[in-house]
Structure 1
Amino acid sequence: MKKVLITLLVVAFSVMVFSLKEMVVVEKGSFTMGDTRNVGASDEKPTHKVVVEYDFYIGKYEVTFEEYFLFLEASGKANDIEIVEAEAKTIPVTNVSWWDAIAYCNWLSKEEDLPVAYRTFGEPDEGQLLDFEGNTTTDVSKVVGYRLPTEAEWEFAARGGNLSRGYIYSGSDDFDQVAWHPSNSGGEAQEIGKKIPNELGIYDMSGNVWEWCSDWHTLYTDSVRINPYVDTGFLKPVRGGSFGDDVTCSRVSYRGYVYPESANDFFGFRVCRKAP
């Protein structure tokens, strides 16, 4: 596991339980996925209807260094941390690969006595989703534990779900209201929740750090998709742009995609789970 740079003191941590108060419900519904403004790249087209048949929770904020440290400590990996200063414990965690992010999700599920959502790295069927009985599945609606949002879930939530006002960024057409980017970030990730939220009350889905998605990258088609989940591929979607990227990357329809082993100062994540 790569060494993670954490900007806080170990003594600052206390036992905490992830709370649904830190999550927002996204009610089932449908939306048009892709470049509805006709300003995007070719992989944001064709636009197509997506139907989400279940309610789900998504993190109000990106997962922070503080939260991620608890996972490392519980996993006996606290020595992977380089501690520099006692500030900014609510900065989004970065330098985490997709595999690191799903390991955190599984740990969080176990902490709350939920079935884990993933086969982890090195296991048979590694990376595959698991249903409530522990069987591999491609039906995301049968997954109970904490996980990363699918690309469709991410975009539905970023657009504001059923409350969407059609903004180009998550919560506004003015990127400075909602996004940390090169012109206002000082070249580093910023504390969560300091910009305005989107229509659902979710923060930082535009800018700050790229967010890993659960499924694999694939090209769009114009067919209607119901509860879409892409279970094979080579690259993982990352969404939302970051503090170091041009604001075009912060558009709700913009698609990034990288190898799941990738980890750098720009990649973080937020958690998701199906509503009971």
Structure 2
Amino acid sequence: MKTEERRAIQLVIGVVVVLALAGGLASLGYQQVAKRQQLMERLDELETVTNSIGMQLVKVPGGSFTMGSEEYGPTREVQVMPFYIGTHEVTQAQWQAVMGYNPSLFEDPRRPVENVTWLEVQGFLEELNRREGTNKYRLPSEAEWEYAARAGSESRFFFGDDPGQLRRYAWFGVDSRSGTAPVGQRLPNRWGLYDVYGNVWEWVQDCWHDDYSGAPDDSRVWGGGDCSQRVVRGGGWANRAGYLSSALRGTYEAKFEDASNGFRVVMTP
């Protein structure tokens, strides 16, 4: 084959490859846009409430689910009553509006509040309830948190078992200079919760127990155990994928503060 003919064929092949790649990328981009659109349409059907400081909470239906995993067990069936939960982690702007100061290291009103202890969160909830004229705002129980995070799923993540998909749903594995991200930058789960994994670890109400032996079979807060230690869920911005799952649980002292720890609220119907 002559050199000119070989070059011509190579050029044609190159053009075909480029077009194929472009088509594939366009198809992938279309799929992502379509998925986001489907999620948005589904979220429009959910029942939500918004309070005076702009917190949006979505109603989670009652039901039952298998809580835990092989690593975080023993697994058990848990019955859950309906409740409302924040679609986003509590932001710095919302904390500032209630408490009058901002304790966060990564200052930005759109980012989740962090550097707050479990005890300080109790003070926030007390003041929020006073401000809203109710007593219904609180932290989720550990069972409520996992039930809402799973959103009907039984897999490692609410979207399946592939950690390669996490970047679409979670802000994680970030270096210490960048820290948190504004809430809601990734895709939500099917019940409308954003940042279920990553961004900040989320305090829940329960006292710490090493495993679920003797845990209640409903969604009430589990007391007893070591109540100087409280449970955190979801993983944070500095964690690798191995620290992010619906079942993974951690613990810190109730008086511990860190730039990786925040929370979201629930509201009793």
> What is the TM-score with the length of structure 1 in the denominator?
0.71
Q: What is the aligned partner in structure 2 of residue 226 from structure 1?
A: 218
Shift of 1:183: 5.2
Q: Equivalents in 2 of 1:46, 1:83: separation in Å?
A: 37
**1:1-276 maps to which residues of 2 (within 5 A)?**
17-19=52-54, 22-35=56-69, 38=70, 40=71, 44-52=72-80, 54-73=81-100, 78=101, 88-115=108-135, 145-160=136-151, 164-173=152-161, 174-182=165-173, 187-218=178-209, 219-221=211-213, 225-232=217-224, 233=226, 234-275=228-269
CA change 1:17–1:171 in 2 (3 A) is: farther
Q: Deviations over 1:52-96 (max 9, x none)?
A: 1x21000000000100011222xxxx3x768997xx311000000
Root-mean-square deviation (CA), in Å?
2.4
Larger radius of gyration: 2
SS at match of 1:213: strand
CA change 1:106–1:171 in 2 (3 A) is: farther
Q: What code does the residue aligned with 1:31 have?
A: F
Q: What code does the residue aligned with 2:223 have?
A: D
Q: Equivalents in 2 of 1:178, 1:249: separation in Å?
A: 14
CA change 1:62–1:82 in 2 (3 A) is: closer
Q: What code does the residue aligned with 2:173 have?
A: P
Shift of 1:228: 3.2
Q: Equivalents in 2 of 1:175, 1:186: separation in Å?
A: 21
Shift of 1:222: 7.3
Q: Equivalents in 2 of 1:96, 1:170: separation in Å?
A: 27
SS at match of 1:253: coil
> What is the TM-score with the length of structure 2 in the denominator?
0.73
Q: Deviations over 1:197-226 (max 9, x none)?
A: 001011001111000001111221277612
Q: What is the aligned partner in structure 2 of residue 13 from structure 1?
A: none
Q: 1:49–1:223: 8 Å Cα contact kept in structure 2?
A: no
Q: Equivalents in 2 of 1:266, 1:56: separation in Å?
A: 26
Q: What code does the residue aligned with 1:108 have?
A: L
Q: Equivalents in 2 of 1:24, 1:92: separation in Å?
A: 18
SS at match of 2:133: coil
Report the structure, 1 or 2, having the larger helix content.
2
CA change 1:223–1:58 in 2 (3 A) is: closer
CA change 1:95–1:273 in 2 (3 A) is: same
Give the unaligned 5+ runs of structure 2: 1-50
Shift of 1:261: 0.3
